[in-house]
Structure 1
Amino acid sequence: MAASDPATSLMLREAREAPAAVARLLAENAATCRNLGARLRDLAPPFAVSCARGSSDNAATFAKYLFEIRLGLVTASVGPSVRSVYAAAPSMRGALFLAISQSGRSPDLLHLAEAARAGGALTLVLVNDTGSPLAEICEIALPLHAGPERSVAATKSWICSLAAILQLAAYWAEDKKLLAALDGLPEALEKAAGQDWSAAAAQLAGATNLFVVGRGIGLALAQEGALKLKETCGIHAEALSAAELMHGPLTLAGPDFPVLVFSQHDEAYQSVADLIASLHARDVPVIAAGPTPGGGCLALPC
């Protein structure tokens, strides 16, 4: 293989370490998450706030939808620059403050975490480097167990962030069904790693712009997918909610402006399926990852 072949890339090699990393995380963090879930049920925070940058902020979107849907807990993102640039101190007393970071060293996250803890929030960080300043500032640190990540484009640490969020929510909600499903997550990730998505690469080869769409927890996948396409492929990819695409941005889509859709088996599925049908009727090329209505798109195996 040529050195430029994607199969030889550090990014792909690290991504393929995700199943083992997630298995480690689920085993090592179980007791901590069980105890933390009980503490959060007793504390009953009135709301949660997230603090993150880049890929980690996309993981925070996943946490937002999961916490709001499964726990009924309003969850919002706080811009780190509110503290680091504007020196403001948003009121977070009694709230759950959730920081997510691979390195735990971003200065603006550190400033906001310090303010949150001083202001009476329960500060929790999901972090790959437990010896980092952010892990020291926050009251509780949940390790991501991803191991060293040298690729600029985060892969396994992002997947581990989602797994950590799922495990925390499952114990917090005492959701036995979700806990049981998590047992099969490493195997599901192994299976996913073996799927062939080369057809999508061929269809996107000439694209310079595209929308990446999801809804609910799928929006987090769309955001991360768009970021990866920007930083690794040089494609101008914009992430949108399936609902928001219909309000103006749809006019940009067309034969030379494809749409990548992420869907999942939940209450959002039908609206995403309807969107795929609408895009197909407008001759917009659609690539779909997840359950599809069966036509009008290039369906990727999942």
Structure 2
Amino acid sequence: MHTHMRREIDEIPDAVARLLDGAAALERAGAALRERNPAYVATIARGSSDHAAHFLKYAIELVARRPVASIGPSLASIYGVTLDLSGAATIAISQSGKSPDIVAMADAATRSGAESIALTNTMGSPLADASRHAIDIAAGPELAVAATKSYVSSVFAGLILLSEWTGNEELRAALRAAPGHFARAVRIDWLPALAADLTDASSLYMLGRGPTLAIASEAALKFKETSGLHAEAYSAAEVLHGPVALVKPEFPVIAFAAADAAEASIADIADGLAEKRAAVYATSARTKRAGHLERVETGHPLTDALALIIPFYGFVEAWSRSLGFNPDKPEALKKVTETR
């Protein structure tokens, strides 16, 4: 069965290649950030877009060395509060560009003097109109309710923006090489490794640290959306402070580790949970007890981390179908959520 979700996962390499070919708006926005030299960055998003913003938080803090905070959209839409963002850059992310609370917060940020940037798949949308810089993430039509290629494209657009802002040549080179690496990630199949330990599960943990914590959060949401399986994301460091009490024998855990400074600690924690006889899998060859999930090495820690979500998307789409669900149309969900 070829679902919209599966086709859209397969389109990810081409989608990010389009961004690289048409980066003029990102170059202009990056130049504006260099000129403004913001003291901090604030993000505005919900759902998968907020997980993209969370990834960019770590990326910006690691590369640009600027603190990043998430703004609750309801401050503008419900509480009527206008924040002083005159010294900030803001990044609002929305595939549709239509959610009223995201638009209201982005508009308030622009009016307060922020260097406001919108990452959206819908140019001419209210969000694009509310921002100083409107960036087309170029994902193309996304018909499945569960976002996949728009999530990756949102993060990727933000990474191009970051590279243009900072002039980081290592990141630029990694982004240029990413379509080929992502094409390899599309072909990875995690289903044989994970299926048996998930068959009787009612809940599981997704672990990460730094940028991979954002990947874990996105993965947990996709389990809920497509498979009706309760999944929670935790920092690999924080899972030992309370949540570990629920980890019994055979409790499933997926640990997302990239080739970065956090990999060793994630692998150690994954092995510690495996010692409790939990069903633990990690995207790291450094583990001794936890099962291994294949990953793609891209040569840069940020693109390494982003590539991890691609085989997970392929897995969760196949897993959803194996349970008799339609991953294109999860029950009780719709594509555009217009939160006020």
Match of 1:119 in 2: 112
Instruction: Find the partner of 1:14 among 8, 23, 47.
Output: 8
C-alpha deviation, 1:152, in angstroms:
0.4
The 10-residue stretch of structure 1 (11-20 or 99-108) with the greater mean CA deviation from structure 2: 11-20
1:76-135 alpha-carbon deviations (Å, 9 max, x no partner): 100111111111112211210110010000000111111111111111000000121110
Match of 2:229 in 1: 235
SS of corresponding position for 2:153: helix
Q: Confirm or deny: 8 A CA contact 1:263 1:292 kept in the other structure.
A: no
Distance in 2 between residues matched to 1:172 and 1:117, nearest whole Å = 19
Q: Confirm or deny: 8 A CA contact 1:99 1:109 kept in the other structure.
A: yes
C-alpha deviation, 1:201, in angstroms:
2.6
Amino acid at match of 1:65: Y
SS of corresponding position for 2:249: coil
Instruction: Find the partner of 2:140 among 128, 140, 147.
Output: 147
Match of 2:39 in 1: 46
Match of 1:72 in 2: 65
Identity over aligned pairs, percent: 44
Amino acid at match of 2:47: G
**Structure 1: tracts of 5 or more residues without a match:** none
Matched, 1:287 2:272: no
TM-score, length of structure 2 as denominator length: 0.84
Match of 2:182 in 1: 189
Match of 1:90 in 2: 83
**Structure 2: tracts of 5 or more residues without a match:** 296-340
Matched, 1:99 2:102: no
Amino acid at match of 2:275: A
Distance in 1 between residues matched to 2:253 and 2:114, nearest whole Å = 40
Distance in 2 between residues matched to 1:40 and 1:74, nearest whole Å = 14
C-alpha deviation, 1:33, in angstroms:
2.5
TM-score, length of structure 1 as denominator length: 0.94
Distance in 2 between residues matched to 1:46 and 1:276, nearest whole Å = 37
Matched, 1:171 2:168: no
Match of 2:241 in 1: 247
For these two proteins, the number of residue pairs brought into alignment is 294
Distance in 2 between residues matched to 1:239 and 1:137, nearest whole Å = 32
Which structure has more relative contact order (CA 8 Å, sep 6+)? It is 2
Instruction: Find the partner of 2:206 among 208, 212, 216.
Output: 212
SS of corresponding position for 2:237: helix
Amino acid at match of 2:252: P
SS of corresponding position for 1:184: helix
Distance in 1 between residues matched to 2:249 and 2:214, nearest whole Å = 26
Instruction: Find the partner of 1:27 among 7, 17, 21.
Output: 21
C-alpha deviation, 1:204, in angstroms:
1.4
Q: Confirm or deny: 8 A CA contact 2:255 2:282 kept in the other structure.
A: yes
Amino acid at match of 1:298: G
Amino acid at match of 1:88: V
Amino acid at match of 1:13: R
Instruction: Find the partner of 2:252 among 235, 258, 268.
Output: 258
Match of 1:277 in 2: 271
Instruction: Find the partner of 2:154 among 161, 170, 173.
Output: 161
Distance in 2 between residues matched to 1:254 and 1:91, nearest whole Å = 47
Distance in 2 between residues matched to 1:33 and 1:133, nearest whole Å = 19
Distance 1:301 1:121, change over 3 A: same
Matched, 1:63 2:63: no
Q: Confirm or deny: 8 A CA contact 2:41 2:69 kept in the other structure.
A: yes
Distance in 2 between residues matched to 1:38 and 1:143, nearest whole Å = 17
Q: Confirm or deny: 8 A CA contact 1:212 1:261 kept in the other structure.
A: yes
Amino acid at match of 2:198: L
Runs of 4 or more consecutive aligned structure 1 residues displaced over 4 Å after TM superposition: none
Instruction: Find the partner of 2:173 among 175, 180, 184.
Output: 180
RMSD between superposed Cα atoms in Å: 1.2
